[in-house]
Structure 1
Amino acid sequence: MNRTMITATNTLSQLQKQMDIVSHNMANIDTSGYKRREASFTDLLFQQFNNQQNPAEEMNRLTPNGIRQGVGAKLAQSKIVMTQGSLKNTERALDMAFTKEGQYFRVLEQSDNGTAVRYTRDGAFYLTPLSESENMLVTGNGYPVLDENNNPITINGQVSDYLVTQNGRLVATMDNGTTREFNLGVVQVNKPQFLEQKGGNLLGLPENIADLNVAENEILTELNGQLRSEVSIQQRALEQSNVDMSKEMTDLINLQRAYQFQSRSISIADQMMGLVNGIR
């Protein structure tokens, strides 16, 4: 296999990863609170040939000295784009939407591997019964919604109405006229590049966070106490995804053209090798 084939093959594998990111964005265009991802590329290692032995001959050259022969490109980063999505009024009491970028609800994911705190912008919450008189606030996937102390929100008795204040306080009005109040668990994401997608429209801290030389409080800030004033929530609305279908389609077309170009490079290299091998 010659250098052209190696370069094209390396780049094809990385283009496939970007294509997966774009298709994932397009598949979640109607997912509430979803934040699209954007891929960026960088060059792989290259080899430099200093064909000009006399540096004086390189004066006034606009390009770097020598000849650089690369081995393709690689996917450098897949970052979350945290821009605010549009709001859709639902007139449903337990639908909530953030109106500030970077704020997330805390939920408790339960799986075969145990429980872990996750983060989501999807504010479509529901009640699931724990007993005849007790209900728990959960996400659409059934994960408990946490309060500011990381405890599941449970409500005893029959509720006649719900009110969600702008700073994230859930007020449940009972049938007997009394009220129960809960401060929803909210975090501000400072460094989204450290968060990983955990499936189900959830984000979480990486398992190897101890090896990344970064503290958890540098990535996230819990908006409790005096910081509650920074929370901005709108009730009876849901945030739509920030995916722009026209942009994703344009990126996909460009990706297809780049994929075809690299595939064509392999075909031409194979034809050239066939011609050389056929010389007698």
Structure 2
Amino acid sequence: MRALSIAATGMNAQQTNLEVIANNIANINTTGFKRARAEFTDLLYQTDRAAGVANTANQATVPEGINIGLGVKTAAVRNLFEQGDLSETSNNFDMAIVGRGFFQIQAPDGSTLYTRDGAFNKNENGELVTADGYLVIPTITVPTDATDITINRSGEVYATIGTETDQQLLGQIQLANFVNEAGLKELGGNLYQETAASGAAIVGVGDDTGFGYVSQGYLESSNVDSVKEITDLISAQRAYEMNSKVITTADEMSKTVSQSMK
């Protein structure tokens, strides 16, 4: 009975949906996290009679066919890069991007990774790094006697050095954009990697056309909406239960047929 296998694909799809929702909820307090959404498509159809063919008497055209769907499959898990709320912090090196863009991070193998998590600090050499110690690109070194650190909207980093009265430019934070942000590969650790689907990185600075701007002393919160996730969770649970009910019903029908044939 096809209903058994069809309902099984529905249960598998809702299991995936539940896992995506669970990951969203688990990261509700993760800095710069972007919620994901599972997307589904129907499977192939089994055609018992095609539409538009002649009827059995070959006297008229059949207006509708008989096509039985074979279930559902997961097509994609899409990251939704909506802006998260900003949370004020007391760290001068914390930065949030308001609008489009990613901070550039140097991986241990020298490649460039991307993040919306701007919780930066200094390493032992005074260089700006992530919480995992990865260098921010381009490298910005803050002298040990630097005070009054300020970062403007375009990402320029200024500081007062020693006893000088005027601030000096230490460097500028650059941002990267992508034609298709959803095509980025998630690596964990709040990091993304460029792929063929995302397109090559487009590098610019804050307030450039198509780029957001940098806000010092703030971090971008997760864009997960707890109310929506709970609603989606209930919907997934109901869909799973209905598919399970289909399997139970189909099994009972099969038993009825088997008993009738004895």
Please indicate, yes or no, whether the TM-score normalized by the shorter chain is above 0.5. yes
**Correspondence list, 1:51-62, <5 A:** 53-54=54-55, 56=61, 58=63
**Correspondence list, 1:140-151, <5 A:** 140-147=131-138
Given the superposition, is the C-alpha separation of residues 51 and 139 from structure 1 closer, same or farther in structure 2, using an over 3 Å criterion? closer
Q: Retained in 1: the 8 A contact 2:106–2:134?
A: yes
Q: Retained in 2: the 8 A contact 1:168–1:231?
A: no
Tell me which residue corresponds to 2:181.
192
Question: Which amino acid letter does the alignment assign opposite residue 229 of structure 2?
Answer: E
Deviation at 1:118, TM superposition (A): 1.1
Unaligned runs of 5+ in 2: none
Given the superposition, is the C-alpha separation of residues 179 and 51 from structure 1 closer, same or farther in structure 2, using an over 3 Å criterion? closer
**Which of these residues, 107, 118, 129, is aligned with residue 138 of structure 1?**
129
**Correspondence list, 1:37-56, <5 A:** 37-50=36-49, 53-54=54-55, 56=61
Tell me which residue corresponds to 1:253.
234
Given the superposition, is the C-alpha separation of residues 24 and 241 from structure 1 closer, same or farther in structure 2, using an over 3 Å criterion? same
Tell me which residue corresponds to 1:62.
none
Distance 2:102 2:62 in 1: 59
* Structure 2 residue matching 1:173: 3-state secondary structure: strand
**Correspondence list, 1:90-109, <5 A:** 90-100=89-99, 102-109=100-107
Comparing 19-28 with 134-143, greater Cα deviation is found at 134-143
RMSD: 2.4
| 1:168 matches 2:149 | no
Deviation at 1:232, TM superposition (A): 0.8
Q: Retained in 1: the 8 A contact 2:140–2:172?
A: no
Given the superposition, is the C-alpha separation of residues 227 and 12 from structure 1 closer, same or farther in structure 2, using an over 3 Å criterion? same
Distance 2:226 2:153 in 1: 31
Deviation at 1:137, TM superposition (A): 1.0
Deviation at 1:11, TM superposition (A): 2.2
Show CA shifts across 1:37-84 (max 9, x none): 1222111111122277445563xxxxxx21221111111222221221
Sequence identity percentage: 32
Distance 2:228 2:111 in 1: 34
| 1:205 matches 2:204 | no
Deviation at 1:253, TM superposition (A): 0.5
Show CA shifts across 1:173-199 (max 9, x none): 322436342111311222112211110
* TM-score, normalised via structure 1 length: 0.82
**Which of these residues, 140, 152, 155, is aligned with residue 153 of structure 1?**
140
Deviation at 1:215, TM superposition (A): 4.8
* TM-score, normalised via structure 2 length: 0.87
Deviation at 1:226, TM superposition (A): 10
**Which of these residues, 172, 178, 197, is aligned with residue 183 of structure 1?**
172
Tell me which residue corresponds to 1:118.
113
Distance 2:237 2:140 in 1: 47
In the comparison of the two structures, how many residue pairs are matched?
253
Distance 1:95 1:215 in 2: 28
Show CA shifts across 1:210-265 (max 9, x none): xx6x852xxx3111599489451111111111111111110111001111111121
Distance 1:57 1:198 in 2: 53
Unaligned runs of 5+ in 1: 59-64
